[in-house]
Each structure stands twice: as C-alpha cells, then as structure tokens.
A and B are shown apart, each in its own frame.
Chain A
Amino acid sequence: MREIITKPFTGMEDEALICGRCGYCRSACPVYNVVGWESATPRGKIAKAKEIFSQGKHTELSAEFVQRMAQCTLCGACAQECSTGIDTRKMWLELRKRIAALGREPKAYKALRDNLQEKKNISNFSNDERLEWAQDLDDPAVLKPRAGAAVGYFVGCVSSFFPQAAQVPLAIAEIFSKVGVDFTSLGGEEWCCGFPLISTGFVDEARQFIRHNVDKIRQLGIHTLVASCPSCYSVWKEDSREALQGYDLEILHTTEYLVRLIKEGRLSLQEIPETVTYHDPCDLGRTSGIYDAPREIIRSIPGVRFVELPHHREQALCCGGGGTLQSVDAALAAKIARLRAGEIRSVGATVVVSACQQCEQMLTAAVREAKMPVRVLDVSQLVLEAMD
C-alpha cells in the first residue's frame, strides 16, 4: 500500500506550480484511461492551468481545454495518487469556477444552471412533484413534511424524479416504516442540494440552494438528517457548514444510519444466498471517507458471500457518472462504466451493490449492455430484500 497524504488546498495557482508532472495520476484517471491523450491526464490539465492562470496566458484558455476540464468525473482518484499531495478534486472544482467566471463554461452547464434556477431541481418537472415517487408506498403521507420528526430524509433530485432511481427512496421509506423510524422529508421544499452547481463552477448560485435547504430543516426542527445520495451528503457535510453554524444537525448517509439500526438490533435480516460485491461511490468513499458502513451492512446479511472488486475502497474505479460528465459527454461516461463492469464480471458476483443512485444507473446500463447476469442494487434495496 502506498502512503498517501493529501495536503490542504493552498490555492489554484500555488498548487498548479507544486505539481511535479510525475504522472502518477495518469494510470488512476478513468477519463485518461478511456480518452488516452496526454491533454486528458490530470498532470496535463494542471500544466495547462498553470500556463493560463499562474503564468497569465489567458489566451491559452481554448475550447479544447474547457472540454477537457468538463471531461472529469471528479472521482478524486488522481488526488489519491498525487506524489505532491495536491487535492486535485478541489483543483478541478476551482478551475471550473474560474472558467465559469470568465463565461467560458460549456453550454450544457449554462442550461443546467438555468434549469436549476427555474425548477429548483435537475429535472424538467415542477419541484412540487418531488414526492411523486412516494405514491408507490402503502402510505405516501408518511413523507409529508412534519415538524419535530426524529429523522429528516433528504431524497435528492435523481431519486425523486427519475423512475429507475426511485427504487432507492422507496426501499429506504419502507425500511424506516417497518422499523418504526420517526421520519419525514422536505417534500416540495427540498431543493437541489447545490452539488450540480458547485461541480459546474457556479458556487455562488449554489449557496442560495444550500441556504434554502438549511432554513427548511431548521424550520422543521430536524436534528438528524439522512441522505441517500453521496453528493447531497457531501454538500450537507462539507459545503453547508457555514449555513448550519449554530444549529445542531447530525448528518448521516443512509449506510451509516442502516448500520446504526443493525447495531441497535432493530433490523432483522434473513438469508440471501448470493455472491455480492460492492462498488464504492467516489463521493461516499474518497470524498467522504465512508468505506466500512456499507460493507458492514452487506456482511451482516446471512448467506451472502462478499467479494471485493479488484479496485476497491480508496482505489475504487469510478462508474463514470460523477462530475456532471453525462451532461457534456454521455458516451465517455458510458465507456468508463464499461471498465467497472469488466471488474464486476471478473469477480463472478451475482449482485453488485452500491450506495449511490447515480452509480447504480451507470452500472445497470453497463452490465445490461454487456449482457451480464448481474443485478445492480442499492444497499437499501438489498437490506429490504433481506427483511422480507
């Protein structure tokens, strides 16, 4: 195992100069592994950023460079490998912010921002329809916003509006109901967490969304928030700190909360005789440091034969669905997912579990395309299966 120490980000110009162009980031980068050109390597992008911003050659900010900057899943694998300890994920976010400030962001980013400002979510649906997915529950009213609930469930845009991903909140709501968790949601007052804006360089615009969601949580008097989307979770955990100052809010990912329920003996899990592997979502693993909770859940299910993927935990491969890549280059995202599907095939798993609705969508498409006899499930779906 290599010793990796990522250092605090000291600013884009300084960090770009610190980069030694050693190329350790190259092999780890899923985009480079598909694209193959030096301009797609993290070191290449940093070298160009150095020219543009540290050395003041603003004319070098070409359309090709903007495209390369958008072709990044923000998976953080490069930061994991960096020999000089650069927090490269912060570097990419900062660069996208600089590009947006110069009005040079991709059109897809502008469209995404405009849609978010109008709809307050990433879909074309009205935000009032946030709880449409809940109609499949026995008692949809359980999700109706309610002050004083013990747990606030932050559903996230993808799970709220995209039918395939709705299986995730349905499983969570069913588990919570069966176990007797006192929970609620923000309903139509849940706005996008702000991550799509942060990841496309519109950090100031994201603050408005963060403040709104924090205000609603405060108004409902919720002190434990559970998020099933790792990106929402990371925004709540890291980017909402300032807005949450002075308010006591415990922020958990569903995997952390489910482990708690298991440890408290509130979940009774039956045998599932399957070979299960786990795909670490980048925003849950490398960004937020949660590796053990999902594995504890899977291992607590009787009959499960758990196998690790060749690249796992800190070294996990990205699914291709991060960093808003799909909005600018869906084909590239799909090719990255195929690399991960190849790893899933290599371990002979019958079920691949993840803890992110985006990863699950990407992997489902990839294993379907590869005609692999593998089910892709969210960890909450696996738990619900074990409870039935």
Chain B
Amino acid sequence: MEAGVMEQLKQQFGVRATDSLFECGFYSRDMAPVPSLLVDPLFNTRPDIVVRPVDAVETAGILKTAFADNIPITPRAGASTVYFNSVPVKGGIVIDLNLIAGIEDIDEAAMTVTVRAGTTWLELEKYLNPLGFALKSFPSSAPAASIGGWFSMMGYGIGSIKYGSLLSQVQSIEVILPTGECRWLTNDTKPPLAWFAASEGTLGIITRLTLEIRRLSSMKHFLLAFTDVGEMRRALESIINAPVVPYNLHFADKRYALAMQSLGFSPSDTASSCTLGIDYEGSRAELDIVQNMIIRLFGDDRTIRLFPEEEARQEWTGKFNALRLKRGGPSVLGGEIWLPVKTLPGYLADIKKKADCYGLDLISYGHVVTRERAAVMTLFYTNETRIGSYILDLAMVKKIHDVGYRHGGWPYGVGLWNTPYLGRIFTLPYLNELRLRKQMLDGRGIMNPGKLYRAPFFLNPVSFAVGMGTLAAVRRITGRSGRR
C-alpha cells in the first residue's frame, strides 16, 4: 500500500487510524486459531492500516480512497466467526466498524428499529426490552456479533424458526458501495438489499439497518432427554409440525451432554441422553396451549424425560455460552453444517462412525432454524500448541464436512476457509449469479477479496481434497491427534 495513502488516512483520522505493527497484528485473526505456519506463507493477513470511522460519511471517504488506488478493504466488527470472513488476505485497509454503533429510532407503528451496523445484538435487545419490545431473532453469539455482521452472514439463529431469516425481517439498509457511493436499499431498489445478505462484506459496507421487531412477551421453556437420536428426531418433527411454532429449538447429542456434565456446566444428569431444548414465546393463553401440547405429546412417554422448568430455563439462559465446551480442550476444531432436519439421525450416526474410525471424540449440537434445516456444529478437542498433530487434526474438519455433505448438508458460511466447498454450497448457476453481482458492484475486486466467490489456488477443491486426504491418512496411520 502506498505510503502517501497511509499518511493521508492517518492525518484524516488521527488517533482513529493506525499502521502500528503491534496493533495491526490483532486484526490478522478471528476466532479461528489457525497456525501462522499455514497462514503466513499463503496470505497477507496483517492489514497495512486499520481505520475506525464513526459514520457512513467517513466510511464512504475511506472507500473512495481505496477505490482510487485499488486498495483491498476488509470490514470488521465483532470478528466472531471462524472462516476469516473479516480477516484480510491481501493486507490493505481494515475498517473497524465498532464505532458505528447505537440505536437511532424505534417506529412503534411500523414495529421497526433503525440501528447502526456496529451495534451488537445483545446491546440492541437490552435496549428494546425495557421499552416492551424484543428482537424477532438473533445469533447465538449475540454478545459479540454485530447487526451488520450477522446480516452479512446467513442470519439464521435463535428465533429464526418462528420469524424467518434476518433477511426477511430487514426492511432497508444503508450501504457504502466500493466506489464510496452511499445508498439506502430496500427490496425494490436496484440492487435490492437481498444482494447484501450473506455477501460477507464483499459488495460494500453496511452502516445502518431498519429491521422488524416484536412486542416483548412471556416465555416458556422445556428440556427433554432421549435415549436415542431416532426418538429425538420424531420429537423434533412433532414440535416442528405442531400448530404453535417454537421460538427456539436446539438439540445436543450424548457426547455434548457428557462433556458439559464433566465440565460442571450441566444443570442435571443428562449425561446418557440426547437433549432437546424448546423455547416458546407468546401470550399467556398461547403458552398455556403449549404447556398442554408438550404434556400431551411427551407426558406419557416413559422413554422421554421431561426436566423441571427451572432446568429448562437455565438451558435458555446459557444460550450464548456453548463455547464453554472449550474448557475441555484446550482447543477445539469442527465444522458447522447447514443440514436437513430429516437427515439429522443419519448424520449423527455417521459422525459416530467417523469418530470411532479416527479415534475422535466428536460432539454435536445445533439449532433447528427453519422447518427443514438445522445449523449443526460438530467439533472435537485438540491442542493448538502441538503444531504437527494440530495440522493433522485440521484434516478431520473436512471429514466432518464430508459426512454433512453425504446427508444433504453444506458448510454454514464461506469466508476463506470454506471456499473449497463452494461447489457444495451453491449450484453453479447461483454461484455465477453471485459472481455477476460482484462484477457489477465491485469490478475492481477491492471489497474483502479472497472470500466467497472463488477458492484461492491452495484451497482449490482438488488440491484441498488431496492435501486433506493425505493428512487424514497420516493421522489414521500414526494415530496422532492434537489432544493426545
């Protein structure tokens, strides 16, 4: 990056811009502990400069500068993903969006809130609740994930099964296009706002959103335990097809329950069971109907254990803390799969086989986010300080994705690390459509380059499959894993 441009940005933004090697290093990673040994020879993840604009105007100014000089731009807010979605791969400018935060307006008549994109979901929910409002849905990483960040991902999480994807709730967005042009987009504009959902910051930078909210209501929580996955799936289908739609539906396999219990986090003895947490929101009358429905569906079934409501409520209050599993690590690796609900038992059965085959302890849990799909996280413990074994363990992530693929699933989110699976995630016509959008809006390719559209050379599907397959074979032969 040209020294003159860096100086210009530093002068313009003062203490809100830095090119310090120390500081820029902190922006070269997200949640994923990928060893420098693998990353550094392939990608330039350290930005040349990090800038923290306070509003759309300043953001537009940075993009105009970048556009003029073809400088890569990487937008970043919570950085609470694991696929390097908000990590640069070609240096350039990282735009830290955390100062573009705060709630601007609530429209009670329209039941919408206008919020700046760097606000976290938990901050927005905490703002809305005392006013008698609530979010329709939010991510399970709500304390860290930003409004704009989740919209730029797929936007499915807690509340989605009842209220749909975030895209379906967003009425308009303010976006800075790569040229620096600021636009308000709706479903009727050209381009429509839908182009920016799940675009992972590759088309522009979202600075404001207007999204639908709901009236705050009472909740009722249920926690069920099953001795086998087949029973759990039948229960899931009963719940999904019942007249009252749950607000949140999350499940965990036996290994998850065992791990949580061994770490002292389980509310009760769930160690030999798969669990299903069901959370409803609505009026008192609706919740009474739900209570009767659950009793009717599961009350007489002696193979199903219905936990006391207090334990179900505790499960709900721990909804943001699945990562506490990491205490059993110290490190974890895994994959998040966008899986058909109907294939969940088959997926979990095959995951168990894979675990036995590779001597892995695979733990699975997830959320049912539509009537047909679940976001399933399958992970295993490893130790990132044992670099050799850890790299062998990375091959197991592909094995998890392969099991998911066989059951109709694909990775949830792309970023950099899931680009080898692009052919699984998108049909070719749709991928071409996405590439066309990219070409139309960012022909120079400055917005978050290296993500979403094409696998870099070292991650192309063929060489990736060969490389990972070799590592997996070595791991299987040597029996080495990071954990040991």
Contacts and interface: CB of A to CB of B under 8 A. Distances in A.
Contacts of B23: 37-39, 64
Contact of A83 (B16, B30, B320): B320
B143 A24 contact: yes
B478 interface: no
Interface stretch (B174-182, B213-221, B233-241, B326-334): B326-334
B29 A47 contact: yes
Contacts of B332: 20
A54 B33 CA distance: 13
A18 interface: yes
Contact of A39 (B26, B122, B144): B26
Interface string A20-58: 111110110000000011110000100110000011000
Contact of A1 (B265, B317, B385): B317
Contact of B143 (A47, A54, A81): A81
B268 interface: no
A22 B321 CA distance: 10
Interface string B118-153: 001011000000000000000001011000000000
B27 interface: yes
Nearest to A7: B327
A44 to B, nearest CB: 5
B22 A23 contact: no
Given A5-B324, A27-B122, A38-B26, A18 B144 contact: no
Nearest to B316: A3
B314 interface: yes
A221 interface: no
Contact of A36 (B27, B98, B317, B323): B98
Contacts of B329: 17-18
Nearest to B79: A23
Contacts of B90: none
Interface in B410-445: none
B30 A3 contact: no
Contacts of B331: 17
Given A3-B317, A54-B385, A20 B323 contact: yes
Nearest to B130: A310
Given A1-B317, A3-B317, A5-B324, A47 B122 contact: no
Contacts of A18: 326-327, 329-330
B123 A20 contact: no
A291 interface: no
Interface string B66-104: 000000000000111000000000000000101100000
A44 B144 contact: no
A25 to B, nearest CB: 9
Nearest to A15: B330
Contacts of B265: 5
Nearest to B120: A27
A38 B330 contact: no
Contacts of A81: 143
Interface in B51-66: 52
Nearest to B98: A36
B323 A84 contact: yes
Interface centre among B30, B78, B79, B327 (most CB of A within 10 A): B327
B22 A65 contact: yes
Interface in A71-95: 81, 83-85
Contacts of B96: 36, 38
B38 interface: no
Contacts of A268: none
Nearest to A54: B385
B123 A38 contact: no
A107 interface: no
B18 A22 contact: no
A193 B318 CA distance: 38
A64 B23 CA distance: 9
B384 interface: yes
A24 B320 contact: yes
A21 to B, nearest CB: 5
B109 interface: no
Contact of A44 (B26, B52, B324): B26
B75 to A, nearest CB: 14
A84 B326 contact: yes
A62 interface: yes
A37 B323 contact: no
B330 A21 contact: no
B309 to A, nearest CB: 15
Interface of B: 16, 18, 20, 22-23, 26-27, 29-31, 33, 50, 52, 78-80, 96, 98-99, 120, 122-123, 141, 143-144, 264-265, 314, 317-318, 320-324, 326-327, 329-332, 383-385
Interface of A: 1-3, 5, 7, 14, 17-18, 20-24, 26-27, 36-39, 44, 47-48, 54-55, 62, 64-65, 81, 83-85
8 contacts: A2-B320, A22-B141, A23-B79, A27-B120, A38-B23, A38-B96, A83-B143, A84-B327
Given A7-B327, A27-B144, A55-B385, 17 more contacts: A1-B317, A7-B264, A21-B29, A21-B30, A21-B33, A21-B79, A22-B31, A22-B323, A23-B78, A24-B320, A36-B52, A36-B96, A37-B50, A38-B50, A39-B22, A64-B20, A65-B22
